[in-house]
Structure 1
Amino acid sequence: MQPTSKILSGLMGVCVGDALGVPVEFTSRAERVKMPVTEMTGYGTYNQPAGTWSDDSSLTFCLAESLCAGFSLEAIAKSFCRWYNEAYWTPYGEVFDVGNTTRQAITNLQRGVPPLDAGGTSESSNGNGSLMRILPLSFYSGYLNFSELIERVHQVSRITHGHRRSQIACGIYTSIAMGLLQGLEPKTAYLQGIENMKNFYTKPSDVRQINSHFQRIFGGTIDNLSVDKIQSSGYVVHTLEAALWCFLNTSSYAESVLKAVNLGEDTDTTAAVTGGLAGIYYGLENIPKEWVAQIARKDDIVALATRLEAAINSSSNK
């Protein structure tokens, strides 16, 4: 079992990045260049106090909580509905910043649509809403074979985002996170992660998706692009590219997530996705303590990480 620090580092890495981005979401890159974010701030876009996380972290925690009782798509879907309807796993009992594709999927779930059919499958359903919450599944990498884990990743994406492109983005991200959990350096984890996915995505339809939409990532040199070639919108491919670019072009947790926030636009999600990888690699001890101290429900997040470790240990011993 990877030590608790890896699970907690990953979950807190997502959450801190998310909270850094919340106050400046939807601001332009030009605004961020003029007034870069350098610390945890509050209010701004959603008028929330410093340390407030958004749907990115809420749904990550919902997934992690569900996994504590084993793998059940129905239970995961139910937890997403609880978040939306009851403000479950929110920082202050309020839901804000809900993506349209996620909202529609939850409406479908509440109408009785099965989890695997609830997520949108149209071209326009490729926001980053499943990518932003998928990290907890990577912690099972030591206990499930690669194919089984990636299939579960695809299924969990489909609860809200059913288009194959969104599933593939989640698969790539998980594959790279798995390398970091094995102790690889960032660039090595990236290269091994995409190599594993090349061997996995061999169906012609998947190869077409990769050649059309993921060629910059699969080229193995995403980190060599200049900043003006990196987009930071809510489109899932943009988010994955931006997160990898920020992670690979920095040398600390703080530097990586601040680079993500200061790209502008979908600041909280870009930083959350970046922060998941950076948290695993740099460790909780290297996430600035003053940022962690401001995070809402910090103790609940620590307790969740402990429960998830125990659940993974228990399932591996059966």
Structure 2
Amino acid sequence: MKTTVIHSSIFGLVVGDALGVPVEFKKREFLKRFPVKDMQAYGVHDQPLGTWSDDSSLTFCLAESLCSGYNLDNIAQKFLQWFNAEIWTPHGKVFDIGIATDEAIKMIKHGADPILCGGASEMDNGNGSLMRILPLLFYLQDEKDLKVIFNRVKEVSSITHAHFRSAFACFIYVVYGLELLKGIDKREAYFNIQIKLKKFIAENDFEQKEIDLFKRVLMNDISTVPENEIYSSGYVLHSLEASLWCILTTGTYQDAVLKAVNLGDDTDTTGAITGGLAGLIYGFESIPEKWLSTIVKKNEIEELCEKMNDVYEKAEI
């Protein structure tokens, strides 16, 4: 198989997700005693080896939609098809779905405008849009205007999560990914986005109390925060911080995703968000073959990556 950055990032995400599925909701203290070191079967969700969750499913839906260009209605309909177990389930049924995503997709089913389906209150800031935003990188890879990037990211986030905090977390993740796509060192890329985003914030009239929440990521160096101050719940800000922390404090794909999963709680999502970036940084060959070989519907995922690469072709790695 000819592998590209799309294979690297998508499979990076899926493998991170599948590593986390069996131990989702397990506490960090438990995982300190019984750490995840390899792919496991069954566990919390009683799923076979290599099973991925809604994180990967919705990532595939977005990727597949983007193969036909950018269309919010089409993205939303893909989400609905997954919800109805018509596409992109590992075993023919949906076994894991966030409350906000569930509610948003029910609104899609009733014909609501996709951009109005996501919850927009402060309580609607789970990580359900961050976990699936990765494919948007490839659609936006040649876009230089941060305002355009922000607006596109906000639209795609808003299908399920419309609050500024969720959209901005997705925006930071995408902007970091866009720097990595240039082949820039992960730490240099991190400092680059801090400079770019501080300037972007200064040029826009965002609510200061919201921007202040991103201080540890944008104003400080998240990699210097001790582990006991890194949280791994389903809150979008925790997920963003945890994934960047795992990336910046490790040196391999394997170490990054295992560190992410062993933080506990929302293990599949922290693993997926971290894994997408780690795949981008270290390449497809860095993902252990013994993990890749377990992935459910691996051939279908490969075909999706190839289809997306035909549309958004980048250099092979």
Give TM class, smaller chain.
over 0.9
Deviation for aligned residue 1:154: 1.0
Counterpart residue number, 1:172: 172
After TM superposition, the score normalised by the length of structure 1 is 0.95
SS of 1:123's equivalent?
coil
Instruction: State the match for 2:248 in structure 1.
Output: 248
- How far the C-alpha of 1:313 sits from its partner, in A, is 4.6
SS state at 2:84 partner: helix
* Equivalent residue, structure 2, for 1:195: 195
What residue identity is the alignment partner of 1:6?
A: V
- Structure 1 contact 175–196 (Cα < 8 Å) conserved: no
- The one-character-per-residue Cα deviations of 1:19-73 (angstroms, maximum 9, x if unpaired) are 0000000000000001000000010010001100000000000000000001000
Determine the C-alpha separation between the residues in 1 that align with 2:227 and 2:309. 37
The 1:313/1:253 distance shift into structure 2, 3 A limit, reads closer
SS of the aligned residue for 1:86 comes to: coil
Amino acid at match of 2:209: R
Indicate the residue corresponding to 2:58 in structure 1: 59
Contact 1:172 1:194 (8 Å CA) reproduced: no
Match of 1:97 in 2: 96
Range with bigger deviation, 38-47 or 184-193: 184-193
**What stretches of structure 2 of length at least 5 have no aligned partner?**
none
How has the CA–CA distance of structure 1 residues 94 and 29 changed in structure 2, closer, same or farther, with 3 Å as cutoff? Answer: same
Deviations 1:254-289 (A, max 9, x none): 000000000000000001000010000000101001
Indicate if the aligned counterparts of 1:116 and 1:155 stay in contact, CA closer than 8 A: yes
| Residue identity in the other structure for 2:99 | N
Stretch moving more, 82-91 or 178-187: 82-91
Matched residue, 2:229: 229
Amino acid at match of 1:93: G
Contact 2:197 2:218 in 1 (8 A): no
The one-character-per-residue Cα deviations of 1:166-211 (angstroms, maximum 9, x if unpaired) are: 0000000000011111011111111112322222234333443111
Q: In 2, distance between residues paired with 1:4 and 1:113?
A: 38
* Residue 77 (1) aligns with residue 68 (2): no
Match of 1:153 in 2: 153
Paired letter, 1:126: N
Moved over 4 A (4+): none
Native 8 Å contact 2:66 2:139 kept in 1: no
- Counterpart position of 2:262: 262
Q: What are the within-5 Å matches in structure 2 for residues 105-120 of structure 1?
A: 105-120=104-119
TM-score computed with the length of structure 2 as normaliser: 0.95
> 1:8 maps to which residue?
7
Q: Measure the CA separation in 1 of the matches of 2:127 and 2:13.
A: 14
C-alpha separation in 2, matches of 1:135 and 1:34:
32
Between Structure 1 and Structure 2, the one with more helix by share is 1
- SS of aligned partner of 1:216: helix
Structure 1: gaps spanning 5 or more residues? none
- Matched residues in 2 for 1:240 and 1:20: separation? 18
1:92 is displaced (CA, Å) by 1.1
Alpha carbons of structure 1 residues 49 and 112: separation in structure 2 relative to 1, 3 Å? same
Q: How many angstroms does 1:150 deviate by? A: 2.7
**Alpha-carbon distance between aligned partners in 1 of 2:215 and 2:32, rounded to the nearest angstrom:** 28
Helix, strand or coil: the match of 1:204? coil
Rounded Cα–Cα distance in structure 1 between residues aligned with 2:297 and 2:217: 35
Shift of residue 4, structure 1, vs aligned partner: 5.1
Give the deviation of 1:87 after TM superposition: 4.2
Partner of 2:39: 40
Structure 1 residue 219, shift from structure 2 partner: 1.9
In 2, Cα distance between equivalents of 1:129 and 1:4: 28
Paired AA for residue 69 in structure 2? G
CA distance in 2, matches of 1:105, 1:198: 32
Which amino acid is 2:204 matched to? Answer: K
What is the letter of the counterpart of residue 268 of structure 2? D
Work out whether 1:27 is the aligned partner of 2:26: yes
Q: How many residues align?
A: 311
> Please, which moves more after superposition, 87-96 or 130-139?
87-96
Aligned residues of 2:42 and 2:49 also touching (Cα < 8 A): yes
